[in-house]
């Protein structure tokens, strides 16, 4: 595709370290085609596969995707079951290639609530890729940011009660270490597909200074090009972190 004059190009020296994605719009994509919502999720899985590869190729260090929220259990059981099966299938089919590409898979959230076959696939993926040093691929599963923050607060309260730390010593760094993302930098860029301008209980602590890009593209239509566009938009932002422009 020929590049138009003045059309911005990606700056390889300003690649975001951590990209988070709310993969939204699978249901609407399916509705537009008069096919079941589940088919939208399946098409969404194909997009995810392409995006993981593209992130790796761009040199993004961490990709975090919102795959299943603590609130998604409210959906009809058929849809929930389908999503669980899809997740197990994704792990089964993609694990070898991800491992070969040195991708480290991690799960954010309490996946003990998932069905047994899903848990087995997840455990296998975590164990197999544990020592990999390439792209960190975080899958948020049964994830809710309020739950994550509350869990951290409970752990901290227990540590204070046990005399391991004093309340007045608690700071943001200590608190961050109790979150599922411990040791990882906060997302630089959060992308939400399908036009909704909401955070939906995703990474509430970590996105304090994250740049948000909302695209109208429905997740199953989201491609490498959309990812590159979002990165270029991010690169044009003036990040001030509450201070002044450099
Ligand atoms: C939101 O679309 C999407 C989800 C709740 C699930 C995301 C899941 C995938 C992309 C499938 C593959 C994931 C893995 C990890 C294998 P929606 O159903 O809310 O869409 P709508 O708002 O248009 O109804």
pTM equals 0.95
CA of 25 to the centre of ligand 1 (A): 7
CA of 154 to the centre of ligand 1 (A): 30
pLDDT at 242: 86
Instruction: Render pLDDT for 120-151 as a digit per residue (tens, 0 to 9).
Output: 999 999 999 999 999 999 999 999 999 999 99
CA of 207 to the centre of ligand 1 (A): 21
Instruction: Render pLDDT for 49-94 as a digit per residue (tens, 0 to 9).
Output: 999 999 999 999 999 999 999 999 999 999 999 999 999 999 999 9
CB atoms within 10 A of CB 13: 6
- For residue 245, name the pLDDT band (cuts at 50, 70, 90): confident
Report CA-CA distances (Å) from 4 to 1, 24, 213, 229.
9, 30, 23, 14
Residues of the chain with pLDDT > 70, as a percent, come to 97
Task: Please tell me the class of the 14-144+187-234 domain.
Answer: alpha beta
Instruction: Render pLDDT for 180-218 as a digit per residue (tens, 0 to 9).
Output: 999 999 999 999 999 999 999 999 999 999 999 999 999
Mean pLDDT of the 157-162 span: 98
Query: Cβ distance 181 to 107 under 8 Å?
Result: no
Q: Is the CB of 63 under 6 A from ligand 1?
A: no
d(CA 170, CA 121): 37
d(CA 245, CA 108): 34
Query: Helix (H, G, I), strand (E, B), or coil: what is residue 117?
Result: helix
Selecting among 26, 72, 96, 226, the annotated active-site residue is 72
d(CA 105, CA 10): 26
Task: Please provide the distance, in angstroms rounded to a whole number, between the alpha carbons at the two ends of the chain.
Answer: 35
Q: Is the CB of 140 under 6 A from ligand 1?
A: no
The domain locations on the chain are: 14-144+187-234
Mean pLDDT of the 153-181 span: 98
Q: How many CA atoms lie within 13 A of 136 on its CB side?
A: 20
Selecting among 24, 56, 186, 226, the annotated active-site residue is 24
Q: String of b and e for 132-169 (b: at least 16 CB within 10 Å)?
A: beebbbbbbbbbbbebbeeebeeebeebeeeeeeeeee
Query: Cβ distance 146 to 71 under 8 Å?
Result: no
d(CA 102, CA 136): 9
Pocket test residue of 22, 26, 196, 198 for ligand 1, highest count of atoms within 8 A of CB = 26
């Amino acid at each position: 595709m020929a590049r138009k004059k003045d059309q911005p190009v990606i700056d390889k020296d300003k690649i975001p370290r951590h990209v988070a994605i709310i993969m939204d719009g699978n249901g609407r994509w399916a509705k537009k085609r008069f096919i079941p919502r589940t088919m939208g999720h399946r098409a969404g899985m194909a997009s995810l596969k392409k995006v993981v590869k593209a992130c790796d190729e761009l040199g993004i260090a961490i990709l975090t995707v919102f795959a299943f929220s603590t609130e998604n259990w409210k959906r009809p059981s058929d849809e929930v079951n389908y999503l669980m099966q899809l997740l197990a299938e994704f792990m089964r089919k993609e694990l070898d290639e991800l491992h070969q590409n040195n991708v480290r898979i991690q799960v954010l959230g309490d996946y003990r609530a998932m069905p047994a076959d899903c848990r087995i696939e997840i455990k296998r993926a975590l164990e197999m890729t544990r020592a990999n040093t390439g792209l960190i691929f975080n899958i948020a599963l049964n994830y809710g940011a309020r739950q994550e923050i509350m869990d951290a607060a409970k752990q901290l309260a227990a540590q204070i009660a046990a005399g391991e730390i004093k309340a007045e010593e608690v700071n943001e760094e200590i608190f961050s270490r109790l979150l599922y993302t411990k040791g990882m930098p906060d997302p630089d860029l959060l992308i939400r597909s399908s036009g909704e301008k909401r955070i939906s209980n995703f990474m509430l602590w970590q996105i304090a200074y994250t740049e948000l890009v909302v695209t109208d593209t429905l997740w199953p239509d989201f491609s490498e090009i959309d990812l590159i566009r979002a990165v270029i938009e991010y690169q044009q932002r003036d990040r001030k972190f509450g201070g002044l422009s450099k």
